[in-house]
Amino acid sequence: MDKRLVRLDVIEKQLSDVSSKLSGMDRRVVSLKTASHDVNTRLIELEATRAFESSVNDDIAKKQSAIDNTLKAERDKIARLEKNLAKVNSVQEDIIDLKSRSMRNNLLFFGFPEKSSPDDRKNEDCSKKNLTCFRDVLKIENPQDSIKFERVHRIGRYEPSKKRPIVAMFNHFPDKLLIKQKSGNMPSNRRLITMDPRTQTESGVLSSFRQSSRSAGSSLFPL
């Protein structure tokens, strides 16, 4: 009887140890489940973060592509503008050349008195004034017969305190050269300058013409 009781005590103790071990195993299982849940949660968060970063990278790639396209369009635009500018410069050079050719026969005269009355100014015969000057001052015989003008007129806006210059376009270039050669006989209050920019330097006669034409309210090429 005593042996059975002892045996039962042993069995009961063993069962208690087993129960204790099972309880420990349950706690470990719960801990593992918790850890597994945390890992799953972390993986979900990492996947969400990765998806967000992928979306951001896609947006950056799209913006970079848009910037590249914009830069290409601007480069193309600049190239077209440079090409157009080259054409404009070429056209301007052609215009200057044409204007130079058109002004080849021009001379500009200063110092001729000018009437104050609008009617007198309107009826002023600038051609006659020049021809008279050629005859009396430059001592050219019968200039009215030998020298012909295409047109002669004053340039600039009238101002009572100033004498507007007279521009004369000669029909024949040799006539212009003759007047230039004899212009040393002109009085100091009547200056004669050329209007041919191909034969005058910026610092010389042409510069004087530009200054005088600006003060008279006229352009460099009035004809």
Task: Assign residue 186 the CATH number of its domain.
Answer: 3.30.70.1820
Task: Find out whether 138 and 179 touch, Cβ atoms under 8 Å.
Answer: yes
Q: Which amino acid is at 29?
A: V
Q: Are residues 165 and 89 located together in one domain of the fold?
A: no
The C-alpha angle 70, 76, 79, rounded to 5 degrees, equals: 140
> Which domain-ending residue is among 102, 118, 140?
102
pLDDT digits (tens, 9 = 90+) for 94-144: 777 777 677 788 988 888 888 888 888 889 999 999 999 899 888 899 999
Q: Are residues 67 and 161 located together in one domain of the fold?
A: no
Q: Is residue 128 situated within a structural domain?
A: yes
Q: Are residues 95 and 59 located together in one domain of the fold?
A: yes
Q: CA 75 → CA 66, 80, 82, 85, distances in Å?
A: 14, 9, 10, 15
pLDDT digits (tens, 9 = 90+) for 52-71: 888 888 888 888 888 988 88
Q: Are residues 64 and 127 located together in one domain of the fold?
A: no
Task: Find out whether 220 and 209 touch, Cβ atoms under 8 Å.
Answer: yes
> Which domain-ending residue is among 67, 102, 137?
102
Q: Are residues 98 and 191 located together in one domain of the fold?
A: no
Q: Are residues 125 and 202 located together in one domain of the fold?
A: yes
Q: Is residue 8 situated within a structural domain?
A: no
For residue 52, give both structure tokens. Answer: 């967000």
Q: Is residue 150 situated within a structural domain?
A: yes
Q: Is residue 152 situated within a structural domain?
A: yes
**pLDDT-derived band of residue 152, with 50, 70 and 90 as boundaries?**
very high
Q: Are residues 89 and 155 located together in one domain of the fold?
A: no
Question: Is a pLDDT exceeding 70 seen at residue 210?
Answer: no
For residue 101, give both structure tokens. Answer: 């050719």
Residue 22 has what pLDDT?
79
Residues forming beta bridges with residue 17, ordered by sequence position: none
Q: Is residue 144 situated within a structural domain?
A: yes
**pLDDT-derived band of residue 180, with 50, 70 and 90 as boundaries?**
confident
Residues contacting residue 153 through CB under 8 Å, at least 6 positions apart: 126, 166, 167
Task: Find out whether 209 and 193 touch, Cβ atoms under 8 Å.
Answer: yes
Express as a percent the part of the chain with pLDDT over 70.
80
CB neighbour burial string for 19-57, b if at least 16 within 10 angstroms, e if fewer: eeeeeeeeeeeeeeeeeeeeeeeeeeeeeeeeeeeeeee
* CA–CA separation, 41 and 144 (whole Å): 111
* CA–CA separation, 97 and 103 (whole Å): 10
Question: Is a pLDDT exceeding 60 seen at residue 40?
Answer: yes
Residues forming beta bridges with residue 96, ordered by sequence position: none
Q: Are residues 80 and 176 located together in one domain of the fold?
A: no
What is the arithmetic mean of pLDDT over 158-166? 89
Q: How many domains does the chain fold into?
A: 2
Q: Is residue 29 situated within a structural domain?
A: no
Q: Are residues 91 and 125 located together in one domain of the fold?
A: no
Structure letter (DSSP) for residue 189:
T
What is the arithmetic mean of pLDDT over 149-163? 90
Q: Are residues 83 and 156 located together in one domain of the fold?
A: no
* CA–CA separation, 194 and 205 (whole Å): 7
Task: Find out whether 166 and 109 touch, Cβ atoms under 8 Å.
Answer: yes
**pLDDT-derived band of residue 193, with 50, 70 and 90 as boundaries?**
low
Whether pTM > 0.75 for this model: the answer is no
Q: Are residues 81 and 150 located together in one domain of the fold?
A: no
Q: Are residues 114 and 181 located together in one domain of the fold?
A: yes
Q: Is residue 72 situated within a structural domain?
A: yes
Residue 201 has what pLDDT?
33
Structural domain for 164, as ranges: 104-215
Q: Is residue 22 situated within a structural domain?
A: no
Residues contacting residue 90 through CB under 8 Å, at least 6 positions apart: none
* CA–CA separation, 128 and 67 (whole Å): 70
What is the arithmetic mean of pLDDT over 27-43? 85
